[in-house]
Chains A and B, each alone.
Chain A
Amino acid sequence: MHVSLTPEESAFRDEVRAFFRDEVPRDIHDKQARHIALEPEDQVRFQKILYEKGWAAPNWPVEHGGTGWTLVQKHIFETEMANSNMPRIVPFGLGMVGPVIYSFGNDEQKQRFLPDILQSNVWWCQGYSEPGSGSDLASLKTRAELDGDEYVVNGTKIWTTLAQYADWIFCLVRTSTGTARKQEGISFLLIDMQTPGVSVKPIITIDGSHEVNEVHFENVRVPAANLVGEEGKGWTYGKVLLQHERTGTAGVARTQYRLRQLRDQAGQSVRGSEPLCKDRNFMRRIAAVEVELKALEYTELRTLAAVSAGKAPGAESSILKFKGTELQQAVDELFVEAAGYYALPYVPEQYAPGFPDDQRIGAGTETDSASHYFNFRKASIYGGSNEIQKNIVAKHVLGL
């Protein structure tokens, strides 16, 4: 057992670090540093740079465009991406539907969809939750009825993140009713957002942002060729996807990076005042979160080590999800507290492209702290709420 990097691993780390520093355009670095929201084009541009380098999908199998990295290399990549303050990869294509298609799709689907996902040519979104089906996802009601060689889809999906930019949506739909278990009638369907009958309605969240949507399907005709795997097996495929999603949402490296930013911020004096880092109470809370993050980093590494030894990510990934999001939220809270009164100003235009820095209210990005805090209350709700994760661990790990 060793914690140190081998010379090869150190060289890889340096290569990754230099890549993010030198190959990602300055304007993207700059927007990230100033908390300016990225335009969809920025996001795609960034992901295409990764693709050109061959690094778009480290977790994919090599034959579909993966990198063939060891788990340590993947860990280094994630850490360096966070430490370089790079944008988050939009997960719906590369992290979610891609793995479902290469695991369960047919050859035609793989050829048709995977290259565009890998190259970020197509923007995907996820159609899982419905107005009446949140934690009880398997109760979903969106119907897909076979009519010749097409499915006719009717229903509503909700909390659909970034659907306003999406070209395609992957959906869990009900293809048969009255099955013994409600999970059995569910299928996994790929739907072109341009198909007649698909409409997107924005939902504004408590931070004032437009991230999520309602997606309505009214007699939407979808070729049967867009069904992934077998009809009625969609729940199984969807669960695999959720386990990938949960492993990914721990976000340990990014939270560690943000905590270091908070430390730097706390070290700065404002107009000659004693900096916040002299407040030992505050610094003890930072230290406590730091310890838990280090522990979670190693819990994640242990999980990944099991995966690289050939096991699928199991129910342990639920621990990563709820612990990881708890810690993200803990850091968000600390940022708000660090901002003091300057957590109050609600001036979203300050974080839109083109707003002059010298006209910003407050120092740095402290007026963004509350919005971030409000927005990330979602983290313990999405991907299966943290309470649902605990149910999963109780049932599948503890056998209760």
Chain B
Amino acid sequence: MDFSLSEFQGMLADSVGKFVDNEYSFARRMANADSSTGYGEDTWASFCELGWTALPFPEADGGLDGGPLETMLLMQQFGRGLVVEPYLANIVLAGGVLCRAANAAQKARWLQPIIAGDLQAALAIAEPQNRYDHAAVETRAVRDGDTWVIDGKKSVVFNGGNADLFVIPAESDGISLFALASDTPGIDVQRYRTVDGSTAADITLSGVRVDDGALLGAAGEGLATFDAVIDDAILAVAAEAVGIMQALTDKTVEYCKNRVQFGVPIGSFQALQHRMVDMLTASEQSYSLLLWATMACADRTDEAKRAVSAIKYQVGTAGKLVGQEAIQLHGGMGMSWEVDVGHYFKRLTVIGQILGNADWHLDRLLD
């Protein structure tokens, strides 16, 4: 058991932290979110130059051989800076599937361009009927001669409106994973903005016809990959949530030290002090559990699966407390679109809502 960072991990956390502090102001974040793509294309290019888009992939795939711990360090800083760029969608989700299931030709065609920043990708996780049970896929892939015909509907696909490539799980006597160019005939994309300043899309697949070149891994055997990528994504958003909670606690304490009412800083009131201590505690407890969960997954211990549900439950409940209290203690300022606090709160809310909410994961801990 060991909490120390390797030299590479220390440098990574440091460089992402510096980027967030020096290059990614709240004004820039809001401008990026307001752009036509919903993220900053120049910012994304910087991520590629800095090597962050290569972080979790093996060296053989052109990556930096990072694992859950490295992703945690990066995402925690992204949370602190409220980074809106589609790292989760491209790198953790779509990239995660391609890295695990694609063959060499497919990786050259899709994964390398993702790492280089030349291709935007998205993994379709949810369907209208399956709520958080991502394995309950009703989109069907039917064999027809040498081709597959895919029909179905995918809900709230992160980065779906920007994606050149969709990774689509479909039922074909087990779950099969397909990589589909977004301009493939039969794909309809309904793009929209999401409450956290990001973008997503609903996707309808009607008689989409592709050959085996689009199939990632063996037909009907994609669930293990799908599950593993969802677990990676849960750890990643949990780290992001911890970064957000830390930022919100700091910002709230700072605000209450400076905001004067009744002739004194409101931070001198015990009723508010104890609430800020509760925020700090929720945030610190979440960070502690994140370390355990991420290390358990990195070390592949027997507890890894439970650890993923535990941390998602934790950031769901703690995130709600920290987010709501940050707004309350900021008063009217917390309600203002102009002020960053509300946007952190909205992203925390979204994290609580995706990849299984707190109730869903608490329930999984009973089994």
Contacts and interface: CB of A to CB of B under 8 A. Distances in A.
B1 interface: yes
A370 interface: no
Interface string A358-400: 0000000000000000000000000000010011011001111
Contact of A400 (B5, B268, B301, B314): B268
A296 interface: yes
A294 interface: yes
Contacts of A294: 289, 292, 310
Nearest to A316: B284
B1 A398 contact: no
Contacts of B289: 291, 294-295, 298
23 contacts: A1-B9, A1-B291, A1-B294, A2-B1, A2-B299, A3-B1, A3-B295, A3-B299, A9-B1, A291-B365, A294-B289, A294-B292, A296-B285, A298-B292, A302-B291, A316-B284, A390-B273, A391-B274, A393-B281, A394-B277, A398-B280, A399-B253, A400-B256
A287 B365 contact: yes
Contacts, number: 117
A5 B299 CA distance: 10
B314 A1 contact: no
Nearest to B73: A1
Contacts of B310: 290-291, 294
A390 B298 contact: no
Given A2-B295, A294-B292, 14 more contacts: A75-B1, A280-B366, A283-B366, A290-B310, A295-B289, A302-B3, A319-B281, A323-B281, A387-B274, A390-B274, A393-B280, A394-B274, A397-B280, A399-B253
Contact of A398 (B69, B253, B363): B253
A72 B285 CA distance: 19
Given A288-B362, A399-B253, A400-B267, A4 B284 contact: no
Contacts of B130: none
A301 B84 CA distance: 33
Given A390-B277, A400-B253, A1 B366 contact: no
Contacts of B253: 398-400
Interface residues of B, number: 40
A350 to B, nearest CB: 33
Contacts of A390: 273-274, 277-278
Contacts of A4: 1, 299, 301
Contacts of A292: 285, 314
Contact of B301 (A1, A3, A9, A299): A3
B270 to A, nearest CB: 7
Interface in B255-305: 256-257, 267-268, 270, 273-274, 276-278, 280-281, 284-286, 288-289, 291-292, 294-296, 298-299, 301
Given A295-B314, A390-B273, A399-B253, A2 B365 contact: no
B301 A302 contact: no
Contacts of B296: 3
A330 B301 CA distance: 28
Contacts of B301: 3-4
Nearest to B278: A390
Contacts of A398: 253, 273, 276-277, 280
Interface string A1-33: 111111001000000000000000000000000
B257 A301 contact: no
A290 B303 CA distance: 13
Nearest to B303: A3
A287 B270 CA distance: 32
A334 interface: no
B363 A284 contact: yes
B285 A301 contact: no
Chain B CB count within 10 A is highest, among A292, A296, A316, A400, for A400
Chain A CB count within 10 A is highest, among B5, B69, B274, B299, for B274
A305 B314 CA distance: 23
A288 B362 CA distance: 7
B326 to A, nearest CB: 14
Given A2-B1, A299-B284, A400 B366 contact: no
A286 B288 CA distance: 20
A299 B291 CA distance: 10
Given A284-B366, A394-B276, A400-B253, A1 B5 contact: yes
Interface in A318-358: 319, 322-323
B146 interface: no
Interface in B305-348: 310, 313-314
B36 interface: no
A290 B281 CA distance: 16
Contacts of A400: 253, 256-257, 267-268, 273, 276
B325 to A, nearest CB: 13
Contacts of A9: 1
